Chains A and B, each alone.
Chain A
Amino acid sequence: MSNELSHSTILKNGLWENNTALVQLLGLCPLLAVTGSLINGLGLGIATTFVLVGSNLTVSLIRNHIPKEIRIPIFVMLIASFVTNIQLLMNAFTYELYLILGIFIPLIVTNCAIIGRAEAFASRNTPLPSFIDGLAQGLGFTLVLVVLGALREFVGQGTVLDGAHLLFGDWAKSLTMSFYLTDQKFLFAILPPGAFIGLGVLIAIKNRIQKN
């Protein structure tokens, strides 16, 4: 199977054709929960991509040594320990980033896209394609998080890239774009219903583009 898919096909699949969020509709819990702003979406996207690449690579490396019947619990254990290790390492060595992304990291465990990729791709392919698949799926997921986050932030509070300095440092404060000022935020967009409708709109747009 690994020979059938070229690397560019894997990339295209992850980013567009078989996008985690827009086509597979996986990982909706963290997706809907954190996309209140672009930066939050980007933060979760980066953390998820990291875990996806790592778990895909590990699963692919050990795929020939585990019995088929118990592969799922083994994947679950691997992913959980991977996430915990990343959390500890980030806490120790990138403390500032951890304070920002830290709350997203436990959420990654609830993302079924990761075990989905382990099962559907990494357990059947050699390490290199699995690595690329993890990267592509992660980036595709990040892309949707960022677009949805930007959309909700723009409609909800009239800004885009608010809080960019949390992720990139103080220079990024100037990146924040304010389109209209409002005391009364448009809560509908910021709260969960806005996330569902925003995602629906994105899926509709994607289907439309694909039809033409």
Chain B
Amino acid sequence: MSEIKKDDSEAPDNTEAPKSSKAPNNIGRAISKNAMILGVFALISTGLIAITHLLTKDKIALEVELSLIRQLSQMIPPDDYTNAVYRDCIVIKDPSYLGSNEPQKLYRMRNPDSDYAVLMTSIAPDGYSGKINLAIAISAQGKILGVNVLSHQETPGLGDKIERHKSNWLDQFDGLSINNPTEKNWKVKKDGGQFDALTGATITPRAVIKAVYNGLNFYAKNSQQVFNMPNNCKQ
């Protein structure tokens, strides 16, 4: 450190020759010193993020779960079923219908003599800026009771109108099922389907519509098993 400094201060007075003979050594030293400092800062900043991540991980998971439960009561009146839905849950995984390899959750709502509905999480992998996490409520007969967006990164002011409190776009799905409408109508109007797009955003609605349709397909394929599987969500 001191040597580098000394050299700098002397530089203007010195002739070129002695400086250039010393330079490579000093440059090397300066580079390695700066690299060290950068490395230390990189370690500190990533370390801080890692610590924050570890400290907040469980709390975030809990908040996500709580929010899902709050949203469920908006989609299906709690009086319509009798079981404790939050403890009646299975883990599902199906990359071709649920948008990713990540395990998703499926909550089951029942009445004493019949199965009532399911609430499943799913991912629309092809949003405008990344994944869109969805919650889809489907009745035991395969009708959509409600769709909600759990989290997304769509453009503020355009794609984020899929959020329920910003517009009623999601209401279009209510009451639909896998054959109503037929497959070719599960698209935005622009692509020949029956769904409204959003002003200035077509990719976002496309992604959501596809994911909801895939979710219905998953349920149609597995509707027998999902109500009979034993609980296996970690609580």
Contacts and interface: CB of A to CB of B under 8 A. Distances in A.
A91 B60 contact: yes
B231 to A, nearest CB: 26
A169 interface: no
Secondary structure of the A contact surface, majority rule: helix
B63 A84 contact: no
Secondary structure of the B contact surface, majority rule: helix
A190 B67 contact: no
Contacts of A80: 45
Interface in A53-89: 66-67, 69-70, 73-74, 77-78, 80-81, 84-85, 88-89
Q: How large is the interface on B (under 10, 10 to 19, 20 to 34, 35 or more residues)?
A: 20 to 34
B15 interface: no
Given A70-B34, A91-B63, A103-B154, A85 B49 contact: yes
A94 B151 CA distance: 15
A187 B59 contact: no
A44 B38 CA distance: 30
Contact of B37 (A66, A163, A185, A191): A66
Contacts of A44: 156
Contacts of B155: 33
A120 interface: no
Contacts of A106: 153
Contacts of B160: 103
Contact of A103 (B42, B45, B153): B153
Nearest to A107: B156
B156 A92 contact: no
A70 B153 contact: no
B48 interface: yes
A92 B60 contact: yes
Contacts of B63: 91-92, 95
7 contacts: A33-B156, A80-B45, A81-B49, A85-B48, A92-B56, A95-B63, A107-B156
Given A33-B155, A95-B66, A103-B160, 14 more contacts: A66-B37, A67-B34, A67-B37, A74-B38, A78-B45, A88-B52, A88-B56, A92-B56, A92-B59, A92-B60, A99-B67, A103-B154, A166-B165, A190-B200
